[in-house]
Structure 1
Amino acid sequence: MKKITTVLSAAILAASFSTAASAKDTLAMVVSTLNNPFFVSMKAGAQKEAKKLGYNLIVLDSQNDPSKELSNVEDLTVRGVKVLLINPTDSDAVGNSIRLANKAHIPVITLDRGANHGEVVSHVASNNVLGGQMAGNFIAHKVGRGAKVLELQGIPGTSAARERGEGFARAVKANQLDVVGSQPADFDRTKGLNVMENLLEAHPNAKAVFAQNDEMALGALRAVRAAGKKLVIVGFDGTKDGIAAVKSGLMAATVAQQPELIGKIGVDVAKKILDGQSVPKDIPVPLKLITK
């Protein structure tokens, strides 16, 4: 009987150590949506690096819904997660999720989009303001000063939409472009198509459009072709489909982010935090303008 008890005790002890080790090695990544190639690439970069470093990575999809995002984080706080990497659905709304993680003493890293509330250890993202300027300057080079241009904005309230718009506005002012129409299309290809159809009807003399991501740019491209027009179309993100459209001459350019690198760096930062190292508050990821 004593022998059996000893064996059982050893088994229970081993199980507890196994659980503790598993919890220690678990990171979580909450993504705004996986219905977007950019964020799928970000997820892939994080998964690859987590596997390389020996971490278990839980990935949850918020489906562009702040309430789903909060539910995801609530779930993670009881799953022994050691670091939370989060790509916000909305820079304001995500504050509720981050505060929840703060209360559970889980360090938070934001990816691509920043957070306006809650305590974040580090933010990994491209310089969206610079990217918006790059797009605007390129458009000005192609269509000239004073030209009428359009803008498809991303999801209102996200730092990416705000910052890309800010950078584009700077280039518009510097190059004296005339923005005759600017509307949100929520970073979505179908919405980009629908909004662009309306903008083209209202502003038939527009010469170019800046879409704050490639998905909207590709939607805009469909609208432009259906209308039998030729516009300079510039996207943002450098997704596979976006780059293909540029190389085939259908889009003029895309400001390329490196989503896989953002995911990879996020995991690397998580490791440093767990190792007790200090990390920068903001970590910029390089951009490049892709043209034919």
Structure 2
Amino acid sequence: MKKFLSIIMALVLSSLTLVGCQQADSDTKKIGFIVSTLNNPFFVDLKKGVEDRAKELGYDVVVLDSQNDPAKEVSNMEDLTVKNVSMVLLNPVDSDSAVASVMIANNSDLPVVTVDRAANGGNVVSHIASDNAVGGAMAAEFLMERLGGVGNIVELEGTAGSSAARDRGKGFDDKIAESNINIIAKQSADFDRTQGLTVMENILQSKSDINAVFAQNDEMALGAQKALEDQGMKDVLVVGFDATDDAVDAVKRGTMAATVAQQPILIGQTAVDAIDKILKGEVIDAFIPVELKLITK
């Protein structure tokens, strides 16, 4: 009989422990993180920053990859509305199409913070990103100094419609306009290394008098650098944006001239800090900038 009672007590205690664990789990707040793509080192680092800081602050993170597809992004947001998350951190594929995703969250009373790229509509609590226009101007100032204010530049643009491409381009173009440097070609390569290579190869078929290339991210810059190298054009200055590991290595080797450091891990950490404050009832700024710096040899 005593043995039977011991077994019963053990089962009861085990059940209470399980209930306690389940209760603790249910008390852990979850953050939904929709990332534009994980097929890019920058966004892999952004994800790391989000997950590491969330763990430090006691949050779980549900990560969904949009695979650079606006329709997938909308589907991901719909999924998050039924996953019991407290807030959504959205890294849009495209700033215009992101409006649909933000509206889905708004209609479900789910607060949204955007990161790196903004949404062009809907109710967003805050936007955390580098000041891309300032970064574009930093790249322009570097090339103006290296070229002595004269020369021909090719500009590779990011995904059309994204705030990052728009702001980096504006910052760069406005500053370059203060010099006698000409932008002789400007074409989108969708923030992609392979497309950067292909687009640069196509440009080189009609343009040969090129002194520098500004690519609105490092992946395109590395693709452009490869195309130039294949043509023996090693003296062309290539400047990227993001300071990914591959780009920083290229700067150290001298195959790239510079890259604007966006610090994606810090952006992710800053975004989670902002969410933590919001969930605690604090008021935060509508835009929280993250510091940039220029990496050169």
Query: Shorter-chain TM-score category?
Result: over 0.9
CA contact (8 A) 1:192 1:216 kept: yes
Residue 281 (1) aligns with residue 292 (2): no
What is residue 52 of structure 1 aligned with on the other side? 56
Residue 21 (1) aligns with residue 27 (2): yes
What is residue 272 of structure 1 aligned with on the other side? 277
CA contact (8 A) 1:152 1:185 kept: yes
- Aligned partner of 2:259 among 220, 240, 254: 254
What is residue 176 of structure 2 aligned with on the other side? 172
Deviation at 1:146, TM superposition (A): 3.1
Question: Structure 1's 243 and 15: CA in aligned 2 closer, same or farther, altered over 3 A?
Answer: closer
One-letter amino acid of the structure 1 residue matched with residue 243 of structure 2: G
Residue 72 (1) aligns with residue 76 (2): yes
Q: Quick one: distance in 1 between partners of 2:57 and 2:280?
A: 12
What is residue 228 of structure 2 aligned with on the other side? 224
Q: Quick one: distance in 2 between partners of 1:47 and 1:109?
A: 15
Residue 155 (1) aligns with residue 159 (2): yes
Residue 237 (1) aligns with residue 242 (2): yes
Q: Quick one: distance in 2 between partners of 1:131 and 1:239?
A: 15
What is residue 102 of structure 1 aligned with on the other side? 106
- Aligned partner of 2:135 among 131, 137, 144: 131
Q: Quick one: distance in 1 between partners of 2:65 and 2:161?
A: 19
Q: Quick one: distance in 1 between partners of 2:102 and 2:40?
A: 23
Question: How many positions carry a matched residue from both structures?
Answer: 286
Residue 39 (1) aligns with residue 40 (2): no
Q: Quick one: distance in 2 between partners of 1:248 and 1:282?
A: 36
One-letter amino acid of the structure 1 residue matched with residue 265 of structure 2: E
CA RMSD of aligned residues (A): 1.9
Deviation at 1:168, TM superposition (A): 0.7
Deviation at 1:145, TM superposition (A): 2.5
- Aligned partner of 2:90 among 82, 86, 95: 86
- Aligned partner of 2:124 among 120, 127, 134: 120
SS of alignment partner, residue 150 of structure 2: coil
**In the TM superposition, what whole-angstrom CA distance separates every residue of 1:16-51 from its partner, at most 9, and x where no partner exists?**
8456414xx100110000000000000001110011
Deviation at 1:277, TM superposition (A): 0.5
CA contact (8 A) 1:137 1:175 kept: no
What is residue 63 of structure 1 aligned with on the other side? 67
One-letter amino acid of the structure 2 residue matched with residue 235 of structure 1: G
Q: Quick one: distance in 2 between partners of 1:30 and 1:42?
A: 11
One-letter amino acid of the structure 1 residue matched with residue 284 of structure 2: V
CA contact (8 A) 1:123 1:282 kept: yes
TM-score, length-scaled by structure 2 = 0.92
Q: Quick one: distance in 2 between partners of 1:285 and 1:18?
A: 34
Residue 205 (1) aligns with residue 196 (2): no
Q: Quick one: distance in 1 between partners of 2:42 and 2:200?
A: 21
Deviation at 1:244, TM superposition (A): 0.5
One-letter amino acid of the structure 1 residue matched with residue 27 of structure 2: A
Residue 145 (1) aligns with residue 162 (2): no
Deviation at 1:14, TM superposition (A): 5.7
- Aligned partner of 1:195 among 196, 199, 215: 199
What is residue 182 of structure 1 aligned with on the other side? 186
Report runs of 4+ in structure 1 exceeding 2 Å deviation: 9-20
Deviation at 1:15, TM superposition (A): 8.2
Q: Could you tell me the percent identity over the aligned residues?
A: 51
Deviation at 1:143, TM superposition (A): 1.7
SS of alignment partner, residue 177 of structure 2: helix
